[in-house]
Structure 1
Amino acid sequence: MGNRNVNIGLSLGADICWPIAYETLFEGLKLDGMKLGGDTLAFNLERVTIEPFSLHQPVRYDVVIDRLTHWYSTSREWIKKAILVDDLYVYNNPWSLQSNEKHTSYAAMTRLGLPVPETWMLPPKEYDASDDLEETLKKYARMFSLDEIGEKIGYPFFMKPYHGGGWKGVSRIDNAADLHRAYDESGTEVMNLQKAVLPHDWFVRCVGLGPQLRKVNYDPGAPLHDRYRMDIDFLDAEDQSVLEDMTLTINAFFGWDFNSCESLRANGVWHPIDFANACPDSQVTSLHYHFPWLIKANLRWSLFCAATDRPMRKNMDWAPFYEIADKDISPREKLRAYAAIAHERFETEKFREFCQNKLGHLDELAHDFFGSETMRDAIRQKVTALFPAHEHDEFTELFWNRIQTWREQEGQQGDKDGF
């Protein structure tokens, strides 16, 4: 018992808007002096720099909100070292993030009984030549018929890179000619073929940050700034529950604190189609109306993890999920049981109590901040970085107005999940 420093680091890439919002609200919360478990806490926040490091170099952070390790190897290795040597807590287990591609996530959730659409993997159309690979392919590669595979899956389906990358490189395949053309254009990419879920009446992206969840009506065919629709309360309670349980299951299974799950509903069944999205888009230019929710969720989870000295789960421990998968119970009962494991791993009740007792002033503070000139300037900075000069005023105003709509509709009542 005594005084304890709580240190949070932001490991950032090209991020502009959300760090400004996070940092401003962090300062406004005035957390120093918080009493927890007999200790008096003092909170510190800084942006993590990139530099050479020793295996024995101490790490001064309790929690790092990580936006780099999914693509930048130096930061990834620093993060992994810090977890192993210094007991750092970091969003999204980096070993899982590095090793579990989208195809792996499809396989795992199929094993758990989730209705993932029929999915195939194709060898790459082209390859970078080497003596070993040439010899391997000569011995073991087998000729295959694209036409036969297309017929087995059934048109239409989608071809997409197995390692992800959003909708870039995704092609709808309606016939054999489309399939041949898309495969010829895929080059050295390893591609998945996934059966289309048609017709569907809803396409929803459920974003999870710890045990906090946001269901968003999603339009993948719209321009990036319009894909996240502004609908609220558009699903009934059971549909919301299914999507929440599904997202929690995936995130807890793979050790992802911050991930999103895209699902399509057809004939009353939700089919997860894209759910290895750890470290999803956090920009105001994409999220707009939903941006305040993300910032508040990020603050709550990071502060909880840091203040309570939450331990990092270094391995996945999938056995409890498989035990449920092998039980003779309905798919919905299995999903509820998986979600119960997720709630235990995310310490949902402990987290809810922390938020209610220690962060009750966040809602009012956030309502005021998202109507401030600081927020408007953060929007403009991000718009300026992405849009041509003649569109700066137009899109700054668009995103600003959408956030003001959030303030009117949701900003004063707190989040509906009770955190």
Structure 2
Amino acid sequence: MADIVRNIGLSLGADLCWPICYEQIMRGLDLNIPSGADTLRFDVERVTIEPFDLTQGCKYDVVIDRLTHWFHMSREWIKKAVLMDGLYVLNNPWSVQSMEKHTAYCAMMHLGMPVPTTWLIPPKDYVTQNPDLEPTLTRYAKLFDIGRLGQRMDFPMFVKPYDGGGWRSVRKTDNEGDLRDAYENSGADVMHVQAGVYPYDAFVRSIGFGPQVRHVSYDPDKPLHDRYREQHYDTIGAADLETLRKITLTINTFFGWEFNSCESLRKDGVWHPMDFANACPDSQVTSLHRHFPWLIKAYIRWSVFCAATKRPMRMTLDWAPYYAIAASERSYTEKLDAYAKIADERLETARFEEFCATHLSHLDEVAHEFFGGPVARDAVHQKVASLFPAHEIEPFTELFWQRIQDWRQETE
């Protein structure tokens, strides 16, 4: 009988709060998981950025990746390690690299999801930054009048980069003048113009982590620290949440994303997913506050499960089963049920839940105790100090800390 160490790497960027909490709770868990005649133990290490030989080995079994969406060096190391060393990484790096929000919209529209009407429009000022394209655009770019979109879609509309950029890059337009101004100031970006879903009566952001999904009511008009509401709208019931779970896991497994978020608006009883290519979602206590402990536990459950079971990496995307369902005569509800069944099979939901019940039953207790202690509060303070002006550090540290304590009180 021997101890076998499973190595979990954290590939980090500006993250401060969640890695501290992840590492400390993993130490508190002190996992010893039987594996045949042996015992599995777990080591957590932050991945460094350095030159690498393409033939060198990789010591990690699982890497939680927070860099490949924007940092090429880490992305290429991870892809190398997946291809040559059998590394399991969250999320599929080829999918993250190639699938913009535009691709996600197209795919989910094809699967029948009620995504709002969306147009792709050429960049306004591409030639200034890319002069070599001037001959092509002069010959073939067709002049168009963006104001005419107002005749095809009702206002408000949203103008946003086709490949993402978050709410800081999204502009709500309420009339033709707003629409023209938004386009005139869009620079060299290829843009979407998307119909608004109005009037909606609920806005939910669903965070999917492996088979785990957390639904949080969302208010985009609030400042960042208050956008995630502490409680749901009163009108959201279990059936709505189950529909959102199926939508989220369908999107995630279609694109090979195990950690992704989906924003949906409800209008006339129908949930419209309208922003769901976020394969490196917000993990910061400064926005998640009372929902932050759930996220840390989700990180731990899924990464430990993948490392312990040596879950094989799905390097390629198999869309045929989804497209076969989409082509069938089933209703949208029936199709969504079938998509979700594929998702649960690909994510090994039943096996995962059994694993957690058997080997991680003490996680809730360990996390509950940790989030009442000084290390957790210091993690909150460090993140606040990195973002807020000096005179706001202590007030906002206390705000987020108190919301976590409210969560602790409610989960006792």
TM-score grouping bracket, smaller chain normalisation: over 0.9
Residue of structure 1 equivalent to 2:337: 336
Residue of structure 2 equivalent to 1:30: 30
In the alignment, is residue 385 of structure 1 matched against residue 372 of structure 2?
no
The 8 Å contact of residues 65 and 90 in structure 2, kept in 1 or not, is answered as yes
SS at match of 2:163: coil
SS at match of 1:168: helix
The 8 Å contact of residues 217 and 233 in structure 2, kept in 1 or not, is answered as no
Q: Deviation at 1:134?
A: 1.2
Aligned length: 410
Deviations 1:129-175 (Å, cap 9, x if unpaired)?
55641111122111111122221122221111111111012111111
Matches within 5 A, 1:40-119: 40-119=39-118
Q: Deviation at 1:34?
A: 1.6
Letter in 2 for 1:204: V
Residue of structure 1 equivalent to 2:181: 181
Letter in 2 for 1:179: L
Runs of 5+ unmatched residues, structure 1: 413-419
Residue of structure 2 equivalent to 1:346: 347
Q: Deviation at 1:3?
A: 4.1
In the alignment, is residue 134 of structure 1 matched against residue 134 of structure 2?
yes
Letter in 1 for 2:206: C
CA distance in 1: counterparts of 2:343 and 2:41, whole angstroms: 30
Letter in 2 for 1:60: K
Letter in 1 for 2:56: Q
SS at match of 1:4: strand
Q: Deviation at 1:2?
A: 5.1
In the alignment, is residue 294 of structure 1 matched against residue 295 of structure 2?
yes
CA distance in 2: counterparts of 1:291 and 1:131, whole angstroms: 46
The 8 Å contact of residues 122 and 191 in structure 2, kept in 1 or not, is answered as yes
Deviations 1:253-306 (Å, cap 9, x if unpaired)?
000010000000000000000000011000000100000000001000000000
CA distance in 2: counterparts of 1:47 and 1:260, whole angstroms: 24
CA distance in 2: counterparts of 1:38 and 1:325, whole angstroms: 46
Matches within 5 A, 1:15-414: 15-31=15-31, 33-129=32-128, 130=130, 132-232=132-232, 234=234, 235-410=236-411, 412=412
Deviations 1:52-106 (Å, cap 9, x if unpaired)?
0111011000000000000000000001001000010000101100100001000
Relative to structure 2, which stretch is displaced further, 112-121 or 140-149?
Answer: 140-149
Q: Kindly tell me: are residues 273 and 37 of structure 1, through their superposed partners in 2, closer, same or farther at Cα, counting changes over 3 Å?
A: farther
Q: Deviation at 1:128?
A: 3.9
CA distance in 2: counterparts of 1:42 and 1:288, whole angstroms: 30
Letter in 2 for 1:292: P
Residue of structure 2 equivalent to 1:415: none
SS at match of 1:27: helix
Letter in 2 for 1:140: Y
Relative to structure 2, which stretch is displaced further, 299-308 or 227-236?
Answer: 227-236
Q: Deviation at 1:29?
A: 0.4
Relative to structure 2, which stretch is displaced further, 118-127 or 3-12?
Answer: 3-12
CA distance in 1: counterparts of 2:329 and 2:190, whole angstroms: 36
Letter in 2 for 1:74: M
TM-score normalised over the length of structure 2: 0.98
Relative to structure 2, which stretch is displaced further, 63-72 or 173-182?
Answer: 173-182
Q: CA RMSD in A?
A: 1.2
SS at match of 2:167: coil
Runs of 5+ unmatched residues, structure 2: none
CA distance in 2: counterparts of 1:173 and 1:315, whole angstroms: 39
CA distance in 2: counterparts of 1:9 and 1:137, whole angstroms: 46
SS at match of 1:164: coil
Letter in 2 for 1:284: V
Residue of structure 2 equivalent to 1:416: none
Q: Kindly tell me: are residues 174 and 332 of structure 1, through their superposed partners in 2, closer, same or farther at Cα, counting changes over 3 Å?
A: same
Q: Deviation at 1:232?
A: 4.8
Q: Deviation at 1:233?
A: 8.1
CA distance in 2: counterparts of 1:42 and 1:131, whole angstroms: 56
CA distance in 1: counterparts of 2:286 and 2:322, whole angstroms: 37
Q: Deviation at 1:44?
A: 1.0
Q: Deviation at 1:39?
A: 3.1
SS at match of 2:8: strand
The 8 Å contact of residues 202 and 233 in structure 2, kept in 1 or not, is answered as no
Relative to structure 2, which stretch is displaced further, 130-139 or 53-62?
Answer: 130-139
The 8 Å contact of residues 154 and 195 in structure 2, kept in 1 or not, is answered as yes
CA distance in 2: counterparts of 1:288 and 1:42, whole angstroms: 30
